[in-house]
Amino acid sequence: MLSAGENERLTRVSAGTPMGELMRRYWVPFLMSSDLPEPDGEPVRVTLLGESLLAFRNTDGEVGLIQRNCPHRWADLFFGRNEERGLRCTYHGWMFDIHGNCVDMPTEAEDSSFKDKVKLTSYPVVERGGTLWTHMGPSDVPAELPGFEFFSVPESHQFVSWNRQENNFAQAIEGGIDSAHSNFLHASLDAFRRTDAWRREGERTGNLRDLYHARDRHPKFFAEDTDYGVATGARRDTGEGDYYWRFNLFLLPFYTMPPGLGPQQKFFHAFVPLDDQTTARWSFVWNTDRPITGPERRLWRRGYGIHSELQPGPEHRPVRSMANDYLIDRYDQKHFSFTGIAILADEDYSVQEGMGRIEPRHQEHLGTSDVGIIKTRRRLLREAAALMDGAEPLTAANGRLYYLRSGDALLPHDAEWSTDPRTLELMTATR
């Protein structure tokens, strides 16, 4: 539980707030390259850290991220014309390049230098792995792109999706590190009866989750601060003299890395604050050893597992939402699945958005399964407070810290989970 004041500090992301300033120290993903598919194409509205922005791709294929309103008399540049040399406001024809310079001001005399004095806010953009990233903080403070292993595998091994989520980013992160919920929210009703069938499947494939996840319904949770954020371990007794451990990482400032979809298929989420009440949930998937297949891509694009089914259009809004009760099927819920909601990602939204836009954390009752959540909140608040005192976050300038994996492992009872060589090897990225 947090006090109301702490909850404010945790969740507010506008410029000038402690958390908003912390977020501005990092590079953040804001669109996929395919959201701006062609030079001189349609601009796309972007809201990021509470700021109203506009993204567009110029004639040379470079992307600009600029303030949305024209500095002349504040018309919305979304309606602008994406012309040969920049974006032209439709009200009086002022034109701006991707760096925010006014490059044409037809309402003033040809020899006027007024246009050289007008500049709109623009942020630097980097395109990497089919995604667009920006940095909204002070340009004189060093910042590196996070060096995830995702970026070091071939394009054929990568898959990315994102969608809007109608709640504050912190409760989305907390959902991402809360591995206690998968036994319930994402379970089928016969999950615990199927242990034997799963075990046979696990013996065939070597998948530890199939073998051991359902064996112990009362996992114990442990959490520790690390250089990149917080590591959480969920420990289950195998009944065979070992513990089955699943690791779930929080990486500053808004990433979570669950154990992955298999030993060679990994993913991380970025829960990027669009404003105090809205979040972009990103899923970056990569295979360490092989291309992602066509059928997998097709399935994920249409909505499956951690990827929501999306409405058409640039907004990336899920089909299933609070407005239609996530298309819950009560018959399915009675007979087959815990929720009756068809897609795993949307199951997450039903609980996270169901908390309200900003969870009232002073009303919670946290238990022993919430240790990772408690540590993560404290870490974020501590980093934000340290920055207010002048200490820059170390992770923002050290992309190499993000070069790691998560996973699961069998460890003997007496192993020290977070420092055991087997755990460390598991978390080492090698591509």
State the residues that interact with ligand FES by CB under 6 A. 70, 72-73, 75, 89, 91-94
Closest to Fe ion by CB, 269 or 379: 269
Give the one entry of ligand FES, Fe ion, none that residue 94 binds, where binding means its C-beta sits below a cut-off of 5 to 8 angstroms depending on kind: ligand FES
301 contacts 292 by C-beta, under 8 angstroms = no
Give the one entry of ligand FES, Fe ion, none that residue 245 binds, where binding means its C-beta sits below a cut-off of 5 to 8 angstroms depending on kind: none
Give the one entry of Fe ion, ligand FES, none that residue 48 binds, where binding means its C-beta sits below a cut-off of 5 to 8 angstroms depending on kind: none
What is the nearest approach in angstroms of ligand FES to the Cβ of residue 380? 39
What is the nearest approach in angstroms of ligand FES to the Cβ of residue 92? 3
Give the one entry of Fe ion, ligand FES, none that residue 92 binds, where binding means its C-beta sits below a cut-off of 5 to 8 angstroms depending on kind: ligand FES
What is the nearest approach in angstroms of ligand FES to the Cβ of residue 14? 25
What is the nearest approach in angstroms of ligand FES to the Cβ of residue 118? 10
User: What are the residue ranges of helices labelled H in 12-123?
Assistant: 18-23, 114-117
Q: Which positions ≥6 away from 414 have C-beta within 8 Å? A: none
Closest to ligand FES by CB, 94 or 162: 94
Measured CA to CA in angstroms, residue 116 lies from 70, 73, 120, 122, 139 at distances of 15, 17, 11, 15, 21
251 contacts 229 by C-beta, under 8 angstroms = yes
Give the one entry of Fe ion, ligand FES, none that residue 208 binds, where binding means its C-beta sits below a cut-off of 5 to 8 angstroms depending on kind: none
Q: Which residues bind Fe ion (CB under 5 A)?
A: 348
DSSP character string of 307-330:
B--B-SSTT--BSS-GGGGGG--H
User: What are the residue ranges of helices labelled H in 213-352?
Assistant: 294-302, 330-335, 344-352
Q: Is 346 helix (H, G, I), strand (E, B) or coil?
A: helix
Give the one entry of ligand FES, Fe ion, none that residue 162 binds, where binding means its C-beta sits below a cut-off of 5 to 8 angstroms depending on kind: none
Residue 37 CB-density burial (10 A; 0-12 exposed, 13-18 middle, 19+ buried): exposed
Position closest to Fe ion via CB: 348
What one-character DSSP code corresponds to residue 291? Answer: P
What one-character DSSP code corresponds to residue 428? Answer: B
Instruction: Count, in order, helices (H) and strands (E) of the chain.
Output: 11, 19
Closest to Fe ion by CB, 74 or 336: 336
Closest to ligand FES by CB, 73 or 335: 73
Long-range contacts for 207-210 (Cβ within 8 Å, ≥24 apart)? 207/262, 207/263, 208/244, 208/408, 208/409, 208/410, 209/246, 209/259, 209/408
Closest to Fe ion by CB, 275 or 348: 348
Give the one entry of Fe ion, ligand FES, none that residue 85 binds, where binding means its C-beta sits below a cut-off of 5 to 8 angstroms depending on kind: none
Neighbours of 156 (CB within 10 A): 11
Give the one entry of Fe ion, ligand FES, none that residue 348 binds, where binding means its C-beta sits below a cut-off of 5 to 8 angstroms depending on kind: Fe ion
Closest to ligand FES by CB, 89 or 170: 89
Closest to ligand FES by CB, 78 or 304: 78
Pairing of strands 125-128, 131-135: antiparallel
Closest to ligand FES by CB, 93 or 305: 93
254 contacts 22 by C-beta, under 8 angstroms = no
